[in-house]
Amino acid sequence: MSTIEQIAARLDGAATSRTPTAQFSADTGLDVPTAYQVQHAVVAHRTARGERLVGLKLGLTSRAKMTQMGVDEVILGRLTDAMHIPDSGTIRLDDHIHPKVEPEVAFLVEGGAIAAVAPAMEIIDSRYVDFRFTLPEVVADNTSASGFVLGAWQPVPDGIDNLGVLLEFDGQTIQTGSTAAILGDPRRALPEVARLAGSELTDGSVLLAGAATAAVPLRAATHVRVTVDRLGTASLRVAP
């Protein structure tokens, strides 16, 4: 269907040119199932450039965000190897449109089960002007996925359903939260993803379970750190 490919090309162009695009679903009457087809086409643009799928992410995993979007359902996005930023690595604002960071928990999937957990952060960077979008539009935009940082993988400790989470900029705490904000317990991310895209949960897949706090815009020349109780830290430097 040409409309799907046209929307995908527009979103991919926005990402590669770092120029946000206007919302469009009012014109196209895009629904969520079609939006996932657009997402597939958007991701196909990335894989055509040589990027490799490495995992999945969930969005709208907090009660607050579901209420804000007026929905009762999580959304799913795809992660590629090009989105992976090494722990304590550096990114440049110029490589993005208007990136935001959110503290997360990541799982490593083996044999359809959770094999390890890591503190993580996700960089989201909506391809729409001012981060304004409808539910189908954000699904089409691969749920704003742009980058992710993983701290150290480790065995899953008992009880990760209410771990304190801090997001710091240059050592100053700017968000505090709990893993309880992620579906009540981040481990619920696995059955959610299995239901939505079970065949993609191959061995070694990374699963970003969802945000523990609201997203915060990144700013230049800043050291960004996420700390999750018992799991440790993941960090990122934003270049001057």
Partner 1 sequence: MTEVARAADVLRSAYESRVPIAPLRGDLLPVGDVDAAYAVQRAQVDDWVAAGRRRIGAKIGLTSAAVQQAFGVYQPDFGVLFADMAVPDGDEVDLGALLQPRVEAEVAFVLGADLPFERVTAADVIRATDHLLPAIEVVDSRIADWDISIVDTVADNASSGLFVLGNQPRRLSDVDLRLAGMVLEHAGEPVSVGAGAACLGNPVHAVAWLAGTLAAAGAPLSAGDVVLSGALGPMVPVTAGGGYEARICGLGSVRVRFGGKEQA
Binding site for partner 1 (CB under 8 A): 62-63, 159, 162-166, 173, 176-181, 184, 212, 227-230
Which residues 6+ apart lie within 8 Å of 43 measured at CB? 53, 78, 80, 142
Q: Which is nearer to partner 1, 1 or 64 (CB)?
A: 64
Which residues 6+ apart lie within 8 Å of 99 measured at CB? 91, 93, 123, 124, 125, 146, 147, 217, 218
Amino acid identity, position 166: L
Strands 232-238 and 89-91: parallel
Q: Which is nearer to partner 1, 159 or 198 (CB)?
A: 159
Q: Which is nearer to partner 1, 105 or 206 (CB)?
A: 105
What is the smallest separation between the CB atom of 182 and partner 1, expressed in angstroms? 9
What is the smallest separation between the CB atom of 156 and partner 1, expressed in angstroms? 15
What is the smallest separation between the CB atom of 126 and partner 1, expressed in angstroms? 24
Q: Which is nearer to partner 1, 19 or 173 (CB)?
A: 173
Of 113, 91, 48, 43, whose CA–CA distance to 221 is shortest?
91
What is the smallest separation between the CB atom of 31 and partner 1, expressed in angstroms? 27
